[in-house]
Structure 1
Amino acid sequence: MTAALRLVDLTVSYDRHPAVHHVSAEIPAGEMTAIVGPNGAGKSTLLKALLGLAPRVEGRIECTARRIAYLPQQAEIDRSFPISVLDTVLLGRWSRFGGFGAARHADLHDAHHAIEAVGLAGFERRPIDTLSVGQFQRVLFARLLLQDADLVLLDEPFAAIDSKTVADLMAVIRRWREEKRTVVAVLHDFDQVRRDFPHALLLARELVDVGPTARVLSSENLLRARAMAEAWDEHAGACEVPMRLSA
């Protein structure tokens, strides 16, 4: 299976204290992969490293994607800015028309189609600060649709939203898989991961396992991940780069 992402001895550090420690793994192309692990395991940090948003990265990230779309956690988004649903979705085409250009007819058509696809037809002129958490998550998924990316990174996409919205957004994710796009999502619901995501990466700052979900989420692996998280010393010395002997 072709890899969309290859992590080679990846360490992500804050003040030289690792949040992700010496991880090597492959994420298959055209597949749905869940990143799971205990709280504080480095899951969101790993996504940010893939985007070049982490402060200090060692090792190597190899990516075959031409376009990457990213959905951050809702808590990281300021919804107080006065902007409509339609204009928020159009931001998915920002790379095409920038801050001083204008959306073309095709962009407007695609934005309306994306809004309808996530179940928000008729909400185009609504300010985003009037939406529920679930409605706003639908808006963010519509914005992702406009980005037309072959790699989609989702950070806790189903946090604090209702079951109907989860089901509708999972339908969008399945369509991405049918279109051979790669989806990587940070998730907490193991039952959902087992049901919907064929591939998983279990992280406890260090890699526990990566591969088929049924194997990765075995009881033995989950116990190991919990033990690794509980044993992690937040006050340990700074991570040292290992010495490499020349041949």
Structure 2
Amino acid sequence: MLHCENLTLGYDRHPAIHHLNLDVPAGQLLAIVGPNGAGKSTLLKGIMGQLKPLQGHLQLNGIEREQIAYLPQQSRIDRQFPISVTELVGMGLWHKLGSFGRLTKAHRHQIEHALQAVGMQGFANRPIASLSGGQMQRTLFARLYLQNAELILLDEPFNAIDSRTCQDLLQLLQHWHQQGRTILAVLHDSEQVRHHFPYSLLLARQLVAYGATTEVLTPENWQRARHQIESFDEHAPVCHQSEKDVA
């Protein structure tokens, strides 16, 4: 589903990921791991099309970007925005409603079903500012539920939430995986990755290892990843972009 060839992504032409070669087949449940500053979130932004390649190319096969569901880190979401749980979850129907569509009775029934699926029944009319961290994450997963996407991208989905919520949402990911969906999740908890994610991608601005989790998350690979991050030169020259490099 996802093909990266010599992919370099960055900001203001300074690379955050260098020369990545990667093939992710459809239906894979993949953890993206690595030290802080490894380029994990940057890769998700590249897949979403929010960043254009500085070099190389990134190709999605058999899927349009409109068929991707993306969950950013909670810290990037304005919790004080004055909307209800129903309104936030209903954003998952944007591909059906358009920019100015109104929720019908059928849409509200779908939202209710999504809230039940994540254990948030009874919260439909609550303002999102009143939710705990775990409740907010369940609500965001309900929005993903409604998107019904083939490719799901998650950026630190289990960070700073309670263990019960974490387990419930992991079960939902397993359900989506069994349905044949492709899931890429940025994670920091190695034990969580080992128990729930059969495949892993270890990044440290470059590819360190990719494959079965048991073969990727080794002490040797982690040592190599930390060394690559520590030796990174923040003052390295910019990457020069050419037209033939951008797909």
Normalising by structure 1, we get a TM-score of: 0.93
Once residues 114 and 168 of structure 2 are traced to their aligned partners in structure 1, the CA distance between those partners, rounded to angstroms, is 13
- The reply on whether 1:18 has 2:15 as its aligned counterpart is yes
Please report how far the alpha carbon of residue 16 of structure 1 lies from its aligned counterpart in structure 2 after TM superposition. Answer: 1.9
Q: Shift of the alpha carbon at 1:98?
A: 2.0
Could you give the per-residue CA deviations for residues 36-89 of structure 1, whole angstroms, max 9, x where no partner exists?
000000000010010111255421111133410000001111121111111111
Alignment of 1:60-209 (within 5 A): 60-64=57-61, 65-66=63-64, 67-209=67-209
> Any idea what the Cα deviations from partners look like across 1:17-53, whole Å, max 9, x if unmatched?
1101100111121121000000000000010010111
Q: Percent identity?
A: 53
C-alpha contact (below 8 Å) 1:86/1:125 kept by paired residues:
yes
Residues 59 and 135 of structure 1: CA distance in aligned 2, closer, same or farther (over 3 Å): same
Spell out structure 1 runs of 4+ moving beyond 6 A.
none
Matched, 1:46 2:43: yes
Structure 1 unaligned runs (5+)? none
CA–CA distance in 1 between the matches of 2:53 and 2:213? 30
The alignment's C-alpha RMSD in Å is 1.5
Contact 1:49/1:57 (<8 A) preserved: no
Task: Please state whether the residue corresponding to 2:227 is helix, strand or coil.
Answer: helix
Say whether 1:34 aligns with 2:31.
yes
1:212, 1:19 → 2: CA distance? 24
Residues 239, 101 of structure 1: alpha-carbon distance in 2 compared, 3 angstrom cutoff: closer
Number of residue pairs matched?
240
Helix, strand or coil at the partner of 1:154: strand
Matched residue, 1:210:
210
Q: CA deviation at 1:109?
A: 1.4
List alignment gaps of at least 5 residues for structure 2.
none
Query: Aligned partners of 1:151 and 1:162: how far apart in 2?
Result: 26
AA in 2 matched with 1:210? Y
Conserved 8 A contact 2:13-2:54: no
